[in-house]
Amino acid sequence: MTKPEDLLNFQYTEGSMKVLDLLPTAVIYIDKEERYLFSNIYYETRYGRKRESTLGFTLRDVLGSDRYSEIEPHVKRALSGERVQFEMLIPREGGTPENCLCIFIPDFNSEGVVLGFAGLAQDVTDYRKAIEALSFSEKRFNSFADSIPQIVWIRENQGDLQYINKAWYEYTGIDPTGLNTVEVHEAIHPQDKDRVVAAWNKAHSDGEPFEIELRLQRRDGVYRWFVAKAFPLKDFPAGKIKWFGVSTDVHKTKVSELRALSIQELSASLLRSTTKEEVIKAIIAEGTKALGADAMAISWKVPSTQYLDLVGSLGYPEEITMRYARVSIDDDLPASACVREKQIMYYSHANAWSSDKPKKDLTTAFSARANIPLFQGDEVVGVITFSFREPQDFDTDFRMSVKVIADEFNQAIERAYLALEQELYAKKVIELQMITSELSKAKTEPEVMNVISQYVFTAFEADAGILSLPTVNNEALSIEIFKGFPVEFPTNFKVTSVQKKTVAARTFLSGTPYFYISPEEILEHCPDSVPLVNTNFKSLACLPLNVNHGCLGIIFFAYLKTRPFPETTRNLMVTLASYSAEALERSRLFDISERAVKARDNMISISAHELITPVSGIKLKLQVLRKKLEKGQEVSKEDLLKLTIQTDNNLNRLSKLVNDMLDISRINHGKLTLQSELINLSQVLTQMIDGIELQTKTAKCTLTYSIEPDIYIYGDAYRFEQIVTNLISNSCRYASGKPVHLSLKKDESQVKLTVEDQGIGIKKEDQRRIFERFERATTLNENTGLGLGLFIVKQIVDAHHGRISLDSDHQKGAKFKISLPLYSESL
Amino acid sequence: MNKFKILVVEDDDEIREVVVDYLQMEGHDVVGAVNGREALEKIESWGVPGLIFLDLNMPIMAGQEFLDLIKDNMNYVQIPVVVMTAVPDSKVTNVVAVLTKPVDIDDLASFATKFAQKALLETT
């Protein structure tokens, strides 16, 4: 047992004692007998225990049993060699107890035996208060931070995350407990990760706040745009910077901004695109960016089939584009459904369109999709598919953008089609100009028909064409030329009555064009056109060949496939038909004028012959007579008489010819004027009989006649003499040696003048022609005459409002009948 | 001595008769024919003439047709032909002359004399 006086000599130097006395901490030394060997001044004064009352006394003695029992376990542990630290309330001298941090440090000798322990007590009341305050503030911060929708976080240096609020978990679904930075980065969009890391590194080295836009993946896989802001907090021990960060969801604004920009670019590209191919290229180049899609495809409907053909794509692996290069509208695919439904279809995730059965497409990396139908008029002609790797919200904003893009695209396509149509129209116009020029070059009707068959029928890509012309009296239509029809059709239906309800008849009778797009439409309006429909024609354009005086016929274009006839095409068809009609009309006029020219040339030749022949005869005879007289040869009186008679006859012949020619000339110039008055036609004819008998006698014809007396007409007596003379001389010429009969009679309203012979007659086919100018029933050389006689007769009859007809047959004589209006008092 | 044979082919009776008469008066052996066909018959029955006066515009067989036939025939191709026509036609070839009606009787007579002398020279 150590004596107290020894204890006072506790092996501390004075210096070290002084140091201990200066400390603002209570320090004591307790030996293994639990006796105080040392206490410093702070202990003495702070807790009111003078050294005299402590040194050499045990803890139990100094503190009293109650307080000792409080610290006894700590004491025992310290004396067993353990460092002990605890907090306890220690009453101050004359004051309130203070919260002290107590530390017992065991004291060992060189053998490791515990000699005692040093006890230290430090007032930690202020510290505790500070800790409590901090804890309260932290709690308040947490509850505040958790209540806001922003993601709030704290991290130290580049180290681990120290704090992240509830919003994080709610958004990402990732448990924040034990999170490190790397794991947090997992939520960042792969495309944004590098950028974010780079920004962090820069912020750290600069120690400056930073702000960055990035996409974070929501718990359901959707990425949304955030703005992350971080501030460095520097009030920490040197080298430590805490970063306080807030990430705010700006998806809506950001996406609208991005979209607005991209859509602007897309619109500009679409505006620049003039062809369908360019439009498709533009939407593929800009479309995915505009909608934030990962891939897109455009499929086009193959006209009049159920197929959709892929015409362009971006971002799909080749196996996908190969597999869906052609799909059917009936397939169970989003694109097919879109065409069927004729509306934009949204699928926010893969299961949205394939809930009931597994889809082959699910094997791909794509999840959400939007399918946009492309329209031409009311018809869906294609579909755009946008695919997204991640599920999508497709919010109102997105759908608005899709609508805008769909509209812009459809408009661009429409513009492209319009441009194409205009281009095709221009080409068509040039082609039609070529055809028109061919038509104008064609002189004769066969030439015109040839151009129509060769060019016009094919001008509008028709599969078949027909040109029909009316038969005599416009009673029926007859197929004149055709192309592209099975041979039996034009054979079986060559001539069809205009009374039938056919496309051709309808067009011909109305003189207006008709366009039928479907067989149903054809049959509805033209039930008799069944054969056309049965020949598998679906669409028809039937055009009248109109000229200013009527409809010459019809031309029609037939199509094996349904074909719409746009306004421009209709107009071009009508134009071409009218050019064809004009060409046809011109060729006919050309034919008429050709014939007229030929007839006139003939006439000149005949006139020359007819006029020269009598002159030649007289001239030769006179020359011979002159020679005889010059040579003093005898010329008999009979010869002279014969010569004078012949000369007289020839001169009469010449005069008659010249008069005929003058009449023709007058008729040609519309100057056949009548000196009309009331005449007794019976009397006129009777007076002529002597002359006529002389005429028939010369031709060795026997004349018989019956003239009803006192038949009056209003007309020109001289012209009637001409009629009778011409008809009689016609009979004399063609019925030489046969009887000729002249008759004049009347009924209640008509006067009938008839000249009938039993000569060679006139063939049926020639009967219409003989009343025309310079025409003769027989060939040129068989009979003399200008061929003007009957023409003149007809002109005179016409001028008297009468009619002339012919009743004749070859070798059976001819009967010319003239009927004239009878003069009546009432007129 | 044989007379020079002349054939006159003309449908107009007056002209044919006056020409035949006059050439006979001039001392030639002359026959007439009213058209080409009769002319061919005459050549075969009467003999090959040394000269033919030919009208073009005739019924049955016109002058041109007759001309084509004799020019195709080896035996007749050498016969000189003088055409008389009211309407001269440039298509008429292989003839000695084309006279336009009304013709002069002197012209006809001089053609007859010329070819008769020529024939006489050739036979002697």
Who among A605, A615, A781 is closest to B102 (CB)? Answer: A615
Interior angle at CA A9, CA A6 and CA A10, nearest 5? 100
| A646 neighbourhood in chain B, CB within 8 Å | 14
Q: How far is Cα A91 from Cα A125, in angstroms, rounded to an integer?
A: 13
Chain B CB contacts of A612 under 8 Å are 86, 101-102
Residues 6+ positions from A337 with CB-CB distance below 8 Å: A345, A353, A371
Cβ A675 vs Cβ A716: under 8 Å: yes
Q: At what angle do helices B105-123 and A567-630 cross, to 10 degrees?
A: 80
Main-chain dihedrals φ then ψ at residue A431, nearest 5 degrees:
-60, -45
**CA–CA dist A34, A36 (Å, integer):** 7
For residue B57, list chain A residues with Cβ-Cβ distance below 8 A.
Answer: 609, 780-781
- The minimum CA-CA distance between B41 and chain A, rounded to whole Å, is 19
- Is A825 buried (19+), middle (13-18) or exposed (0-12) by CB count in 10 A? exposed
Contacts of A624 in chain B (CB under 8 A): 18, 21-22, 105
Q: Sort out which chain A residues have CB atoms less than 8 A from B59's CB and list them.
A: 781-783
Closest to B57 (Cβ–Cβ): which among A609, A623, A627?
Answer: A609
Residue A645 vs residues A618, A639, A642: alpha-carbon distances, Å: 11, 10, 5
Instruction: Check residue A355 and give its pLDDT.
Output: 45
Q: How many C-beta atoms surround the C-beta of residue A291 within 10 A? A: 26
| pLDDT for residue A469 | 92
Contact A609 B15 (CB under 8 A): no
Contacts of A783 in chain B (CB under 8 A): 59
How far is it, in rounded angstroms, from Cα A338 to Cα A381?
A: 11
Estimate the crossing angle of helix A567-630 against helix A637-668, to 10 degrees: 160
Chain B residues inside the 8 Å CB shell of A781? 11, 57-60, 62
A358 has pLDDT over 80: no
Report how far residue A243's alpha carbon sits from residue A79's, in angstroms, rounded to the nearest whole number: 47
- Of A602, A732, A716, nearest to A656 by C-alpha is A732
Distance to chain A for B83, nearest Cα, Å: 14
Nearest CA in chain B to A615: B102
- Confidence tier at A356 by pLDDT (50, 70, 90): very low
A340-367 in b/e form (b: 16+ CB < 10 A) is eeeebbbbbbbebbbeeeebebeebebb
Q: Which residues of A touch B105 (CB under 8 A)?
A: 620, 623-624, 627
Inter-chain residue contact A624 with B105, CB threshold 8 Å: yes
Q: What is the pLDDT of residues A519-563, one digit of tens each?
A: 888 888 889 888 888 888 889 999 999 998 889 999 999 998 888
Q: What is the pLDDT of residues A293-314, one digit of tens each?
A: 889 999 988 877 888 889 888 8
More confident residue, A458 or A351: A458
The contacts of residue A565 (CB under 8 Å, 6+ apart) are: A515, A517, A539, A541, A573
- Please tell me the predicted confidence (pLDDT) of residue B112: 92
pLDDT beyond 70 at A497:
yes
Contact assignment for A624 to B15 by CB distance below 8 Å? no
Lowest mean pLDDT among A55-59, A95-99, A443-447, A717-721: A95-99
Question: Which residues of B fall within a CB distance of 8 Å from A627?
Answer: 105
CA distance A427 to A430: 5
Predicted-complex ipTM score: 0.85
The SS3 assignment for B111 reads: helix
**Contact between chains at A646 and B14 (C-beta distance less than 8 A):** yes
Cα(A226)–Cα(A739) distance, integer angstroms: 125
| Rounded Cα distance, B56 and B62, in Å | 6
Among chain B, residues having any CB pair with chain A shorter than 8 Å are 11-12, 14-15, 18-19, 21-22, 57-60, 62, 86-87, 101-106
Is B63's pLDDT higher than 60? yes
Residues A394-409 have a mean pLDDT of: 84
Give B2's DSSP letter.
P
Residue A822, pLDDT > 50, answer yes
Distances, alpha carbon A166 to alpha carbons A144, A174, A290, in Å: 10, 10, 33
**A691 vs A783 pLDDT, higher one:** A691
Largest CA distance in chain B: 40
Position with higher pLDDT, A510 vs B122: A510
Chain A positions touching B55 (Cβ under 8 A) are none
Nearest to B87 among A609, A619, A650 (CB): A609
Per-residue DSSP letters for B82-95? EEEESS--TT--S-
**Nearest residue in A to B99, CA atom:** A616
Chain A residues within an 8 Å CB radius of B12: 613, 616-617
* CA A182 – CA A171 distance, rounded (Å): 18
Query: pLDDT digits over A603-628, tens only?
Result: 777 777 778 888 888 889 888 888 88
Query: Reduced to 3 states, what is the DSSP secondary structure of residue A134?
Result: helix
**Given A611, A613, A619, which is nearest B12 (Cβ)?**
A613
B14 to A621: CB separation less than 8 angstroms, yes or no: yes
Quote the pLDDT of residue A645.
86
Residue A553 is predicted with a pLDDT of 93
Rounded mean pLDDT, B93-108: 88
Instruction: Work out the average pLDDT over A752-781.
Output: 72
Looking at the complex, report in whole angstroms how far the Cα of residue A445 sits from the nearest Cα belonging to chain B.
29
Q: Which residue in A618, A650, A781 is closest to B57 by CB distance?
A: A781
Chain position carrying tokens 């699928």: A347
Phi, psi (rounded to 5 degrees) for A220: -90, 5
Is pLDDT of A654 > 50? Answer: yes
Strands (E), A624-720: 677-680, 702-707, 712-715
Name residue A225's beta-bridge partners: A215
B108 CA: distance to closest CA in chain A (Å):
10
Query: Among A601, A615, A616, A780, which would you mutate to test the B interface (most chain B Cβ atoms within 10 Å of its Cβ)?
Result: A616
Residues of A within 8 A of B11 (CB-CB) are 781
**What pLDDT is attached to residue A661?**
78
User: Regarding predicted confidence, which is higher, A412 or A752?
Assistant: A752
Mean pLDDT of A466-477: 88
With a pLDDT cut of 90, the percent of chain A lying above it is 16
Residues 6+ positions from A281 with CB-CB distance below 8 Å: A273, A312
Which residues of chain B does A609 touch, with a Cβ-Cβ cutoff of 8 Å? 57, 86-87
pLDDT of residue A776 exceeding 70, the answer is no
Q: Which residue of B has its CA nearest to A601?
A: B87
Mutate to test the interface with B, among A605, A606, A613 (most CBs of B within 10 A): A613
In angstroms, rounded to a whole number, what is the distance separating the alpha carbons of residues A711 and A754?
Answer: 14
Does residue A751 register a pLDDT over 80?
yes
What is the DSSP code string of A65-83? HHHHHHHHHHHHHHHTT--
Assess contact for A740 and A698: CB atoms under 8 A: no
Record: contact A616-B58, CB cut-off 8 A: no
CB–CB of A619 and B12 under 8 A?
no
Candidates B18, B24, B89: best to mutate against A (most CBs of A within 10 A) is B18
Averaged confidence pLDDT in chain A: 83
Q: How many beta-carbon contacts under 8 Å exist across A and B?
A: 61
CA distance A614 to A606: 13
Closest CA–CA distance from residue A688 to any residue of chain B (Å): 29
- C-beta of residue A302 within 8 angstroms of C-beta of residue A308: yes
* Maximum C-alpha span of chain A: 222
A670 pLDDT above the threshold of 80? no
Q: pTM to 2 decimals?
A: 0.47
Identify which of A112, A117, A122 has the alpha carbon closest to the alpha carbon of residue A37: A117
| Residue A639: other Cβ atoms inside 10 A | 14
| pLDDT of res. A14 | 66
Tell me what the mean pLDDT of segment A720-738 comes to.
Answer: 86
Token look-up 């040339």 returns A601
Share of chain A above pLDDT 70, in %: 91
pLDDT at residue A289 greater than cutoff 90: no
Whether pLDDT at A62 is above 50: yes
**Who among B58, B60, B103 is closest to A616 (CB)?**
B103
Note the pLDDT tens digit of each residue in A162-173: 788 888 888 888
Choose between A452 and A141: higher pLDDT: A452
Q: Do A613 and B86 touch (CB under 8 A)?
A: yes
Average pLDDT in the A589-602 region? 81
| pLDDT over 50 at A681, yes or no | yes
| Confidence bin at B42 (pLDDT 50/70/90) | very high
pLDDT of A667 above 80: no
Question: Position B43: which residue type?
Answer: I
Tell me, what's the pLDDT at A11? 56
CA distance A72 to A78: 10
Q: For an interface test with A, which of B8, B55, B56, B57 has the most A Cβ atoms less than 10 Å from its Cβ?
A: B57
Going by C-alpha positions, the residue among A467, A487, A492 that lies closest to residue A580 is A467
Residue B9's pLDDT band, with cuts at 50, 70 and 90, is very high
Q: Does residue B20 carry a pLDDT above 90? A: yes
Q: Which of B21, B22, B87 is nearest residue A608 as measured by Cβ atoms?
A: B87
Residue A476 parent element (H or E) = strand A476-483
Angle at A819 between CA A817 and CA A823, to 5 degrees: 150
A713 residue type, one letter:
I
Task: Tell me the residues of A at the B interface, defined by beta carbons under 8 Å apart.
Answer: 604-605, 608-609, 611-613, 615-621, 623-624, 627, 646, 650, 780-783
Contact A27, A37 (CB under 8 A): no
Average pLDDT over residues A793-818: 86
**Confidence at A580, pLDDT banded by 50, 70, 90:** very high
Nearest by CB to B86, from A609, A646, A783: name it. Answer: A609
Query: Of A681, A677, A794, nearest to A730 (Cα)?
Result: A794
Query: How far A622 CA sits from the closest chain B CA (Å)?
Result: 10
pLDDT exceeds cutoff 70 at A362? no
CB nearest to B19's CB, from A609, A620, A650: A620
B-chain residues near A780 (CB < 8 A): 57
Residues of A in contact with B18 (CB under 8 A): 617, 620-621, 624
B-chain residues near A618 (CB < 8 A): 14
User: Could you give the CA distance from residue A19 to residue A106 in angstroms, rounded to a whole number?
Assistant: 20
